Amino acid sequence: MLLKILLGILCGVRASATENNTAQHGPPPLLLVSFDGFRADYLQRFPMPNLKLLYSQGVLVEQLTNVFITKTFTNHYTLVTGLYAESHGILANNMYDPVTQKHFHVSNHSDPMWWSEAQPLWLTALDSGYKTATMMWPGSDVTIGNRTASYFAPYDYRVTFQQRLGNVTNWILGNDKEPGVKFAALYWEEPDRTGHIFGPDNVTAMSKALKEVDDNIGLLISELKRTGLWGHVNILITSDHGMAQCSADRLIQLDSCLHPDNYTLVDLSPVTSLIPKKDPEAVFKLLNNCNAHMTAYMKSSIPDRLHYRNNDRIQPIIVVADEGWTIVQRGDKLPRFGDHGYDNSLPSMHPFMAASGPSFRQGYRISSLKSVDIYPLMCHLLSVPPQPNNGTLNRARCLLAAESCWDVPLVIGLVVGVLLVLSTITVLFRFLSLRRPSGSRPFQRLQVDDDDDDDEPMLE
Ligand SMILES: [Zn+2]
């Protein structure tokens, strides 16, 4: 009993300390969590009780239209900058920069020059006087413009979700000497890893992976409740991309179309990126006629909608495989059963977003949003002036508790309904008046006076 009372006092002290550090100084802290490769329809296909609990008390965006190419580093940088790949410069997981002649790979990514075309939110928020933290978010262990987040951890896949979470909640809480952070970004590798190994159609493997993801969301909720942060922080759970099922029956062999001596390969699948060694047009023609399940583009003709053209790091020719097709150079070995990187208009490439906290509406959902809109939303939540970006707050405004907004389909439905009723009444009225006997009346042409280009003011 005594222990309970003591715990009660301690919890009370903790809770008031939390309120002092978080709620009373500026906006509530924001925790951004990414579960890599969480395809939007996993939410319908698998039970996710903890995630559903979270968004039942908050909001759900069923599908997030992410950016091309639908790869991990590209889309994680978009989430924290609001920029398309051509504008933030992280164009793929494998890149070549012709200006510096450097190569980029996910395991060799820490040269700041790759990241310096944009400024992520964990740096921008520093300029508003906030402390920030990142836990293994792609790019967050890189010194960008000579700065990092106030707290960060170098990438180490062996660190468990619980350990990552424990650090993040401590950073948000702060202590007697240091105020808590206002923005924290937390990254977790699943369900991407399982999706690659087994493919998203493998129900047994994906059930297990998603049960673990949902258990981690349960941990997140209970840890925030234990520390008194629940209800005082805005939580945003999202992902970078979805996952498509691949098959050995859907392989495209580049060597069957042109000899590898003709090009330097920068990235392979599902978006091949290459530098022709001679006659780019000839190389393009061979690739263009290579396989019906891929599309080749000269850099200058990459469609506008992909926002993937205006950057030196985009190579002279790219080739995009159709959904579920895998490009290899040679052989008939399928490298993985699941993959992503395909066209960002494909629903299988889309992730979702769920959010909860004092700034969000409760029990509200919308069908879609663009991933570039997450950044202006986060800046708004933190009262941080956004850097120039490709998103808009307008589309996300409806998610916020303090905003009133129109339900567009409902408004359209109402307007159409009213118009239908009015037209029916008019037709009925005409019909009835026609049936009434009346004297013949000559048709009168409506006189339209189009001589209105008179600049003289009208005097009454
Ligand atoms: Zn990913």
The residues facing 263 across adjacent strands are: 276
Quick one: how far is CA 45 from the chain centroid?
20
Statement: residue 83 has pLDDT above 60: yes
CB atoms within 10 A of CB 154: 9
Mean pLDDT in the chain? 91
What domain count does the chain have?
A: 2
| CATH code, domain carrying 281 | 3.30.1360.180
Once rounded to an integer, what is the mean pLDDT over residues 26-30? 96
CB 386 within 8 A of CB 379: yes
At residue 441, the pLDDT reads 53
**What is the rounded CA–CA span in Å between residue 92 and residue 71?**
6
Is residue 79 in some structural domain?
A: yes
* Residues 146 and 185 both lie in one domain: yes
426 falls in which pLDDT band (50, 70, 90)? confident
**What is the rounded CA–CA span in Å between residue 222 and residue 215?**
10
Is residue 196 in some structural domain?
A: yes
Question: DSSP label at 21?
Answer: I
* Residues 175 and 42 both lie in one domain: yes
Q: Which domain holds residue 304?
A: 251-335
Summarize pLDDT for 172-197 with one digit per residue, the tens.
999 999 999 999 999 999 999 999 99
Summarize pLDDT for 154-166 with one digit per residue, the tens.
999 999 999 999 9
* Residues 165 and 220 both lie in one domain: yes
Statement: residue 18 has pLDDT above 50: no
CA atoms lying within 13 Å on the CB side of residue 322: 8
* Residues 300 and 375 both lie in one domain: no
Statement: residue 362 has pLDDT above 60: yes
137 falls in which pLDDT band (50, 70, 90)? very high
Is residue 14 in some structural domain?
A: no
At residue 19, the pLDDT reads 44
CA 363 to ligand 1 center in whole angstroms: 28
Once rounded to an integer, what is the mean pLDDT over residues 416-442? 77
* Residues 232 and 121 both lie in one domain: yes
Q: By percentage, how much of the chain surpasses pLDDT 70?
A: 88
Summarize pLDDT for 192-234 with one digit per residue, the tens.
999 999 999 999 999 999 999 999 999 999 999 999 999 999 9
* Residues 260 and 208 both lie in one domain: no
Among candidate residues 373, 391, 408, the one where a domain is terminated: 408
Q: Which two tokens stand for residue 77?
A: 């940088």
CA 188 to ligand 1 center in whole angstroms: 10
The set of catalytic residues is 72
Task: Provide the pairing of β-strand 59-65 with 364-370.
Answer: parallel
Once rounded to an integer, what is the mean pLDDT over residues 9-25? 43
Statement: residue 85 has pLDDT above 50: yes
CA 240 to ligand 1 center in whole angstroms: 6
The residues facing 94 across adjacent strands are: 105
Q: Which two tokens stand for residue 285?
A: 């023609």
**What is the rounded CA–CA span in Å between residue 441 and residue 434?**
12
Statement: residue 456 has pLDDT above 60: no
CA 173 to ligand 1 center in whole angstroms: 29
* Residues 321 and 377 both lie in one domain: no
| CATH code, domain carrying 177 | 3.40.720.10
CB atoms within 10 A of CB 111: 15
458 falls in which pLDDT band (50, 70, 90)? very low
* Residues 204 and 182 both lie in one domain: yes
* Residues 273 and 165 both lie in one domain: no
CA 378 to ligand 1 center in whole angstroms: 21
* Residues 34 and 183 both lie in one domain: yes
At residue 424, the pLDDT reads 86
262 Cβ contact list (under 8 Å, min separation 6): 276, 277, 278, 283, 286
* Residues 99 and 175 both lie in one domain: yes
Statement: residue 94 has pLDDT above 90: yes
Residues lining ligand 1 (ion), CB within 5 A? 36-37, 72, 192, 240
Which range, of 13-27, 149-163, 377-391, averages the lowest pLDDT? 13-27
At residue 459, the pLDDT reads 39
Summarize pLDDT for 300-321 with one digit per residue, the tens.
999 999 999 999 999 999 999 9
Statement: residue 410 has pLDDT above 90: no
Is residue 165 in some structural domain?
A: yes
Among candidate residues 310, 335, 360, the one where a domain is terminated: 335
Quick one: how far is CA 173 from the chain centroid?
27
Is residue 6 in some structural domain?
A: no
CB 236 within 8 A of CB 375: no
73 falls in which pLDDT band (50, 70, 90)? very high
Is residue 234 in some structural domain?
A: yes
Task: Choose among 308, 284, 313, 312: nearest CA to 298.
Answer: 284
Once rounded to an integer, what is the mean pLDDT over residues 343-364? 98
**What is the rounded CA–CA span in Å between residue 192 and residue 194?**
6
* Residues 147 and 256 both lie in one domain: no
How many helices (DSSP H) and strands (DSSP E) are in the chain?
A: 12, 18
Statement: residue 444 has pLDDT above 70: no
Among candidate residues 335, 357, 383, the one where a domain is terminated: 335
Is residue 425 in some structural domain?
A: no
Quick one: how far is CA 79 from the chain centroid?
5
Is residue 7 in some structural domain?
A: no
